[in-house]
Structure 1
Amino acid sequence: MRVEEKRVADVMSRTLFTVSERASVTEIVETMLNNRISAVIVVADNGEFLGIISKTDLLSGLKKYGKELLEKSAEDLLCPKPYTIEGSATLREAAQKMFAHKVHRLLVVSPSSIGKFMPVGIITASDLLRELAF
């Protein structure tokens, strides 16, 4: 399949690493480092999607809170409305959206029956570059 024909669902990562809204900054960083990822999904105890925290969010938190960052939880740092895309979108659309919003990842979502979206994957700038290279 040519890269022009590929969809987000063809290359996205379906493995989503999650943390609780009460997770400490240390837990968040450990999850990122242990899994070699640059963002985690934040969920409530009932499994509801709350937001996302990226390495950039952690750096912004460090700038804002200084040493007090270690006293914060995922709930304090999460981005509640990350940029999203549906799996049926083209890779070109994903690249355009990342570029327009100056982000390195998009949460891939699927509409749910209750009107909210459900995260089903994540696509990163690295995923897009990998597809161009191979």
Structure 2
Amino acid sequence: MEIVELVTRNAPITGEQIAETLGVSRPTIRSDLSVLVMLGYIDAKPKVGYFLGKALKPDRAVHSSLLQGKVRDRMSRPVVIRDDATVNDAVISLFVDNVGSLIVTDENDRLVGMVSPKDLLKFTLGHANASVIPIRMVMTKQSQLVTISPEDTLLEAARRMMGHQVNSLPVVRPRSGGGAEVIGRITKTNITQAMIEIASDL
């Protein structure tokens, strides 16, 4: 919630000033700013900047809905690939399913990692045989992933995405034999759609 804290202390503040303070580029935080505006945490005025939004005031309907809304009610179907699939398989899946990342599981359907276009690009540059390399050699491993439970709130999902600068989270539940089973994914788009629906019902 660094962005909200910055806006609280320095409002009005421009997107460029927020990015500079955080040490990132403006495009990097564009989606985070959009989510925060949709959540009502911050608001924006053209040519003025960002300032504190109404959702941080008590008893706001949108804020209440976010606290009560569960990830399970808004999550999307997980787009999964096995860890023994190749880089070429991953590239095809990304384009066919039109997603920003793939969830990687092992032969027992346990979460073992995620792979994004950025992961693939970094690995393939300078590797002539990259297309046939198993995706497990390229993926971001589970120990580095941020996940969420289906029983967590949409607000918590938004916080984790913003805090870790990611656009989606695997939705998981514990397996009886150990590890985590993937049952869905929650994205910034899912949350934005929920906010639009909630606001429309007010």
Normalised to the residue count of structure 2, the TM-score between the two structures is 0.58
Aligned equivalent of 1:10: 73
Aligned equivalent of 1:58: 120
For the aligned residues, what is the CA RMSD?
2.1
Task: State the structure with more CA Rg.
Answer: 2
Task: Answer yes or no: is the 8 Å Cα contact 2:103–2:170 preserved in 1.
Answer: no
Can you list the C-alpha shifts for 1:81-104, whole angstroms capped at 9, x where unaligned? 221011111111111111111111
Q: Could you tell me which runs of 5 or more consecutive residues in structure 2 were left unpaired when the two chains were aligned.
A: 1-60, 198-202
> Structure 1 vs Structure 2: percent identity of aligned residues?
26
Can you list the C-alpha shifts for 1:13-72, whole angstroms capped at 9, x where unaligned? 1x2222222222221111111111122222223433321112232233245x45553343
Q: 3-state SS of the aligned residue for 2:140?
A: coil
What letter corresponds to residue 86 of structure 2 in structure 1? S
C-alpha distance in structure 2 between counterparts of 1:43 and 1:115, whole Å = 14
Compare relative contact order (CA 8 Å, sep 6+) and give the higher one, 1 or 2.
1
Shift, 1:129, TM fit = 1.4
Q: Could you tell me which runs of 5 or more consecutive residues in structure 1 were left unpaired when the two chains were aligned.
A: none
C-alpha distance in structure 1 between counterparts of 2:154 and 2:141, whole Å = 24
Question: Structure 1 residues 114, 45: closer, same or farther in 2, change over 3 A?
Answer: closer
Q: 3-state SS of the aligned residue for 1:86?
A: coil
Normalised to the residue count of structure 1, the TM-score between the two structures is 0.84
C-alpha distance in structure 2 between counterparts of 1:112 and 1:46, whole Å = 10
Can you list the C-alpha shifts for 1:89-124, whole angstroms capped at 9, x where unaligned? 111111111111111111111112223221111101
Question: Structure 1 residues 87, 47: closer, same or farther in 2, change over 3 A?
Answer: closer
Looking at secondary structure, tell me which structure has more strand per residue.
Answer: 1
Question: Structure 1 residues 132, 59: closer, same or farther in 2, change over 3 A?
Answer: farther
Query: What is the total number of aligned residue pairs between the two structures?
Result: 132
